[in-house]
Amino acid sequence: MIEKVNPSHPDKVADRIAGAIVDLAYAKSGDPKVAVEILLGHGDCNIIIETSEKFSKGEINSIVERIGGKLNLNLKIVEQDPHLASNQNDKIRCGDNGIFRGKPLTEEEKKLSSIARSIYEKYPSDGKYVLDKDKLIICQSNAKTKDLEKEYKGAIINPLGEWVGGSDVDSGATNRKLGSDMGHSVTGGGLHGKDLSKADVAINIYAFLKAQEENRVIELSCAIGDETVDGKEYKEIVEVARKYINEIGGFEKLAEWGLY
């Protein structure tokens, strides 16, 4: 049993905006420290950024408009806490406490991911999809139910009827769709809106990739300040995650569909 939401779901819009802000931080510095939280909906977008880099309101508003449309921006930008910042002063160390479990993707997860992406190519608007064995549920905004029924015979399509979707219908928040992002992998924190020093990003990606490569469950934990995890220097884990992020096109791209 698995759920996917597409990149136009309000929660993913929040994740994508957060990812784009992290991309902007990396464009300003090769090793930024940044954490972004977003709550948006019904005409408003609230953003808090803790950062080592300087951002203007114009830069952030441009990202919000590009991804989320014209929303009233309520923005707070603060410097990272000096005590937390000192953790990274002379070496790349774990930026947080956490537990992580990477799991090999199931055929069900791969199938639903393919279905969700296929529907989104045709209907690039808010949508949510569930697959439970042979039971497929499709909630797709701005689509005719009868058209989807022709292509996905036997599926439950738009149970409440046709709808328009988007942030005028629902609110969105960063890291609220971790099941959609990670399948049955488990994390103590979210993937989005953070730089690579944060374990929630680097170790989650590392554990997920290792689980796929070795076809087994990978369970890891860390404490803030750890210099090694899973027998590797933390900086090596960060580089594994950095390579993955660069290959897929950045943090905003990661936010679109998560890890699968």
pLDDT of residue 74: 98
Q: Is residue 135 part of a domain?
A: yes
| Residue 200, domain member (yes or no) | no
Domain with 134, as residue range(s), is 2-6+108-166
Residue 148 lies in a domain: yes
Structurally, how many domains does the chain consist of? 1
H helices of 123-177, in order, are 145-151
For residues 21 and 15, what is the distance between their CA atoms, to the nearest angstrom?
A: 10
Q: What is the DSSP string of 48-82?
A: EEEESS---HHHHHHHHHHHH-S-EEEEEEEEPPH
Identify the pLDDT of residue 80: 85
Q: Is residue 129 part of a domain?
A: yes
Q: Of the candidates 70, 22, 72, which has an alpha carbon nearest to the alpha carbon of residue 50?
A: 22
Answer whether residue 61 is part of any domain.
no
Contact present, 230 and 237 (Cβ < 8 Å): yes
Give kind and range of the element (H or E) at residue 3: strand 2-5
Q: Is residue 79 part of a domain?
A: no
In a domain, 39, yes or no: no
pTM value is: 0.96
Helix, strand, coil in percent for the chain, rounding step 5: 40, 25, 35
For each of the chain's 260 residues, which pLDDT tens digit applies?
A: 999 999 999 999 999 999 999 999 999 998 999 999 999 999 999 999 999 999 999 999 999 999 999 999 999 999 988 877 777 777 888 988 999 999 999 999 999 999 999 999 999 999 999 999 999 999 999 999 999 999 999 999 999 999 999 999 999 999 999 999 999 998 888 999 999 999 999 999 999 999 999 999 999 999 999 999 999 999 999 999 999 999 999 999 999 999 99
- 3-class secondary-structure state, position 249: coil
Residue 113 lies inside a defined structural domain of this protein = yes
